[in-house]
Each structure stands twice: as structure tokens, then as C-alpha cells.
Amino acid sequence: MKFIDAAFECETGSYHTFCPISCVAWLYQKIEDSFFLVIGTKTCGYFLQNALGVTIFAEPRYAMAELEEADISAQLNDHEESKEICMQIRRDRNPSVIFWIGTCTTEIIKMDLEGMAAKLEKELGIPIIVARANGLDYAFTQGEDTASAATVHRCPAINMTIPKNEICTSDGDSSYEFKYQSQFKTYKLETHNLVLFGSLPSNVASQPNSDLKRQNICVMGWLPSHQYAELPSLGEGIYVCGVNPFLSRTATILMRRRKCRLIGAPFPIGPDGTRAWMEKICDVLGVKPQGLKEKEEKIWKNLSEYTNTTNGKSVFFMGDNLLEISLARFSVRCGMIVYEIGIPYLDKRYQAAELALLKATCEVMNIPMPRIVEKPDNYNQVQRMHELEPDLAFTGMAHANPLEARGIDTKWSVEFTFAQIHGFANARDVLELVTRPLRRNLGSIPSGRNNPSRQEPLCC
């Protein structure tokens, strides 16, 4: 695998992002029979309570095990304490699996979560999966990566004696007939041992399933699945492919521990990414892709109203959720000029194909390759932004309002983590998000010298 010769930089790592424990927000919704227990302090609880906003009131399947002073100083037995809470969870919710989310504090006091979980699992009869999604090691979406990586170990080993066409059931559409009839075409399905990883809302996940089916590729399963019991079988001979750029640990574990073969593709974000992703899968599985080019073109044609808005606009990614490379690549393809791609962590091997596509896209669109800044320093970035004056900044909420007050349009980056951005059909949603701040400023407010809602830039 060859790395591209782009300029990579690394700064101080003083940047704002969400704590990785935020992954419980979408994972508990994805894995319907799960329960997430975050073992941490009031700080963790306060973050979840405020960051998750209204979901906290919908009786979510997660809770805090709040560590008190007696836990920290080991006056209480952590095994007994966690057992009591887990028994309560079993009584009240009866989940099929409990995820323990380890935090900074459990790391610092070196609580043996894995050891405790193994013991408790036997006592309680419920699988307990430990994910150390803490702010000492990870940023935001990487929380999902740790949880998925931990789940890999629970996937059943594949049994090659099962006839291939019987294991071809995929997320949500197991009742599909093999002589599958459609208005468009009749498919003859061939089975490929493909498992996709990455947590997507189930209505988004069923789209790549059916898109790939159209290419005669059947998705065997997803990691994570929407029920714990439906985790896909893994083993030698299984191909795996990621749908999100932040899943490098999961990819590594899948390859090293379960001997799966990783398809290194760009990520299915934007029509260009989706097409490249599918082509790469087809290529590896020896299938000739059909109709993808036409489909991509058709999507682009439908997006022209948005791309008219984005064309020629400059954009700055401050970096907080690891989707930045893919979003930047898509933005470049939409005619935008990317000044800087901040990113918390860049796995150049896992993202190699995405980086290559970014480079190729820059060449096609005839713009310079943007600088990629790993572990950015937000203070320095704001200084750079004052010089560059980008039309749009992708940034966290901590900086959004202050930047708006200084005349820089912003897009709240966290929205991309929660919005549906994958696949052909959702390209529109991505652009809807990207262009919203730009459209908001087009003409609707009579422009004097400047937008009246704006203040003069304050000193900083």
C-alpha cells in the first residue's frame, strides 16, 4: 500500500471535540437489545446529559455508574458494586448484551473492567462487552470504533459447511426471495462472503444492501447488527469493508484476530465516494460493476442546485469527528476549495483509498491538495482562519457562534455524525447541511455594507 505524498502536519492536540463516550447515543439505538453502562464520574454524566439533549428523557437504554470517592479509594469493592447495578439493569430492562464503557477515571485507577466483566458475565448470564472509550486515548467517533472492535470478538466463527446461499441473509431483509423480482431487472444472486462494518441507522444500512444486490453481491451481515444475536459470522474467507472512516481499530481486529480480508475502499459518502466504494468492492470480489457511472451522473445532475451554491466557495475543517477527509473530498468534487483539513487522528493505512481519491479529485478539479492537520490546535486554527477568511468553517459548537460573530459562516460538524450521509440517496442530505449556512446568507437579508446581523470582528 502506497501513501500519497501530501503534506501532513501534526499540531498540539488542543482541540475541541466530543468525548468518545458519546457513541452510546447512537449505538444504543442501533443495537436494539443492548444496554450501555458508562462507568465514570459526574463529569461524564454531565456531558451525556447535556450533549444528548432530549434523548435523555426518552428512557434510553444507557446509564451512568457514577464512581464516588469510596470507589476511587477502593473502600468499596468494584466487583460487588458493578454487580448490583448490572443486576438492576437485568431486572428492569432484560437486555441481551451489556456494554461497559470505560472512561478516563477507570483508566487512571486501573479498574480491571475486562477481568470483572468476564466474571460477572458468568454470574449474570448476560454477555458483557467492555469498550474503553475514554478521552485519554480517543476522540468522539472513535468511541464507536472501540465498541465495534470489542464486539468483533463476540461474532460467531463462520462455519464453511453451510451452503453458501443459505447464509445469504442481510440486515432487515431476510425474507428476500432469491428469485427476486423487481420492476427494474431480475437478479440472479451469487453469494459473496461480504460483511460490512460501521453503525448506520437501519434504513440507511438497507440501501447499500440493495445497491450491492443489484451488482449481484449479497451482504452477509453487518457489524454491529441491530440485534446482538444477529452478529455476523466471521473467519477466514470473509471479506470486510468499512462504511466509516473512523473504524481503523475495528478493521485491524477483523484482520488480525478474525483473519478477515479488508477491502480498503473510499467511504460511501457523496455520490463519488459511494460509487468508488462499490466499484472497489466489485473489483475485489471479481464482479463487473454495472450502471454505477450512470447512476453517479444522474445523482450529480439532481444536485446541481446545491453545487451551484457550493461552487468556488472556500472551506476550512477544524476537525473533530474523523469524517473530515471524506467530507473534504466530496466538497472538492462539489467545486469547493478546501484550505485545511483538521482531523483528530489519521490512520493513513485504513484511509489510504480515501486519501488517494481525495488527491485524484483535487487533480480533476484542478485545485491544490489541502493541508491535512492531525491533532490540530484550535487557537492556531482560528488565527489561520482570520488570515484565510474561508466562506465556511466546519467546526464544533464551542467555536461556531464566536466565528459567526466574526463574519465566518459555520457548519456544526457534529450534525454530520447524526445525519444520514451515506450512499447515493443521502448525498442530497449532506449538501443540504453544507449549504444551509451559505443559503441562509444569500439575499434573504438586505445587505448594507455587510450582513446587519453581524458584528464587526471583535478582537480575539
Partner 1 sequence: MKSAYWMYAGPAHIGTLRVASSFKNVHAVMHAPLGDDYFNVMRSMLERERDFTPVTASIADRHVLARGSQEKVANNMNRKDEEQRPDLIVLTPTCTSSTSQEDLQNLVNRALISSTSDVISADVNHYRVNELQAADRTSEQIVRHYVNKAIERGALNRSVTDAPSANIIGMSTLGFHAQHDCRELKRLLQGLGILVNQIIPEGASLKDSKDLPRAWSNTVPHREAGPMTAIFPKKEFGMPHVSITPAGPSDAADFIGRLEGYINAWASVLLEKGVDYEPYVVNQTRFVSQAAWFSRTIDCQNPTGREAVVSGDATHAASITKILVKEMGIRVRRSGTHRKHDTEWFNEQIQGLCDEILVTENHTEVGDATARVEPSAIFGTQTERHTGKRINIPCGVIPSPVHIQNFPLGYRPLLGYEGANQIADSVYNSFNPGMEDYPSDVSGGHDTKGVVTKLSSNKEDLKRTTESQLELSKIPGFVRGKIKRKTEVFAKQNNILEITIDVMYAARESFSP
Residues 419-448 that bind partner 1 (CB under 8 A): 424-425, 428
Task: Examine residue 146 and tell whether it contacts partner 1 (CB under 8 A).
Answer: no
Instruction: Give the interface segment with partner 1, choosing from 69-77, 119-127, 357-365, 437-445 (CB under 8 A).
Output: 69-77
CA 62 to chain CA mean position, Å: 20
Task: Examine residue 402 and tell whether it contacts partner 1 (CB under 8 A).
Answer: yes
- Quick one: 153 or 298, whose CB is closer to partner 1? 298
Q: Which of residues 152-211 bind partner 1 (CB under 8 A)?
A: 172-173, 175-176, 182-184, 201-203, 206-207, 210-211
Task: Examine residue 135 and tell whether it contacts partner 1 (CB under 8 A).
Answer: yes
Task: Examine residue 108 and tell whether it contacts partner 1 (CB under 8 A).
Answer: yes
* Residues constituting the chain: 460
Task: Examine residue 49 and tell whether it contacts partner 1 (CB under 8 A).
Answer: yes
In the structure grid, which three cell numbers stand for residue 137, read together?
A: 486515548
DSSP SS3 for 115: helix
Task: Examine residue 335 and tell whether it contacts partner 1 (CB under 8 A).
Answer: no
Using CB under 8 A, pick the residue from 26, 28, 35, 140 that binds partner 1. Answer: 140
285/167 Cα distance (integer angstroms): 17
Contact 295, 384 (CB under 8 A): no
- Contacts with 99 (C-beta within 8 Å, 6 or more apart), sequence order: 24, 27, 34, 35, 36, 37, 128, 129, 130, 131, 147, 150
User: What's the Cα-to-Cα distance from 179 to each of 2, 190, 213, 357, 413, rounded to whole Å?
Assistant: 42, 11, 12, 36, 43
For the window 369-388, what string marks contact with partner 1 as x by the rule CB under 8 A?
----------x--x------
- Contacts with 3 (C-beta within 8 Å, 6 or more apart), sequence order: 348, 352, 355
Number of residues that bind partner 1 (CB under 8 A): 92
288/150 Cα distance (integer angstroms): 35
Task: Examine residue 88 and tell whether it contacts partner 1 (CB under 8 A).
Answer: yes
- Quick one: 3 or 379, whose CB is closer to partner 1? 379
Phi, psi of 239 (to 5 degrees): -95, 140
- Quick one: 258 or 422, whose CB is closer to partner 1? 422
Q: Which of residues 228-287 bind partner 1 (CB under 8 A)?
A: none
Q: For the CB of residue 214, give the shortest distance to partner 1 in the complex, in Å.
A: 8
- Quick one: 264 or 407, whose CB is closer to partner 1? 407
460 labeled part of a ligand binding site? no
362 labeled part of a ligand binding site? no
23 labeled part of a ligand binding site? no
Nearest in space to 17 (alpha carbons), one of 406, 407, 377: 377
The binding site for [4Fe-4S] cluster comprises 19, 44, 104
